[in-house]
Amino acid sequence: KQEVTQIPAALSVPEGENLVLNCSFTDSAIYNLQWFRQDPGKGLTSLLLIQSSQREQTSGRLNASLDKSSGRSTLYIAASQPGDSATYLCAVKVQTGANNLFFGTGTRLTVIP
Amino acid sequence: DTGVSQDPRHKITKRGQNVTFRCDPISEHNRLYWYRQTLGQGPEFLTYFQNEAQLEKSRLLSDRFSAERPKGSFSTLEIQRTEQGDSAMYLCASSLGDYSYEQYFGPGTRLTVT
């Protein structure tokens, strides 16, 4: 069964710092990997989608990379802002069964003004 | 197109009562997924539909849970005889197809069972 792990579980940084969030998964048979943002008590906002054939995707200050063979992805956030404070979840779409997403437990990010 | 919508956004119920949630997917999307998220955890897959057919259910979906998607449009998730352990965020997602298509999530329904 696919397992997704996110490290660290929580991260606190001063405003303006660049930071990296890590995601690892156990089964490389995936279609794609998605990074989501979740504010407290709210739903999921999709940030970046990387197809299995791609190595990275960029959107504004966000850059996500994927190394499918080693089962790793990183989300790089440049010049962090207090508004970036949220929980960041990564999820992989498996190639078997329902093609559902398997999620990690998230990294809770706090950006201190 | 306004995206995936869910109703209600919040539901408080007493233990033993039945509750029903609704999800309206993006109009042309034929795949619809339900996930459940408990506090401090990532969402977990419950079930999914291709058009009106419910094709898979996870072991998390006990006999007290039932989902439907009549006519392949909106979907409902009903929980009978709610228990405190059912308290969670219930998330719905839809996609244009399977394989590599992206899933788009709704805002979720937060259920609190007292």
Mention every residue, 6+ apart, whose C-beta is less than 8 A from residue A54.
Answer: A66
CB contact under 8 A, B107 and A102: no
User: What's the rounded Cα separation, in Å, for the pair A40 and A27?
Assistant: 30
Q: Are A19 and A77 in contact (CB under 8 A)?
A: yes
* b (16+ CB within 10 A) / e for B56-67: bbbeebeeebeb
**What is the pLDDT, as a whole number, of residue B100?**
76
Tell me what percent of the residues of chain B surpass a pLDDT of 90: 86
**B104 Cβ under 8 Å from any chain A Cβ:** yes
CB contact under 8 A, A104 and B42: yes
Average pLDDT, chain A: 95
- Token pair listed for A98: 């329902």
Within chain A, residue ranges assigned H as helices are none
**A105 contacts in chain B (CB < 8 Å):** 40-42
Q: How confident is the model at residue B1 (pLDDT cuts 50, 70, 90)?
A: low
From the candidates B31, B45, B104, which should be mutated to test the interface with A, based on the most A CB atoms within 10 A? B45
Average pLDDT on A88-110 reads: 92
Residue B2 has pLDDT above 90, yes or no: no
Average pLDDT on B45-61 reads: 92
**B40 Cβ under 8 Å from any chain A Cβ:** yes
| Contacting A residues, span 21-60, partner chain B, CB-CB under 8 Å | 31-32, 34, 36, 41-44, 46, 49, 51-52
- Residue scoring higher pLDDT (A55 or A99): A55
Diameter of chain B measured on Cα atoms? 40
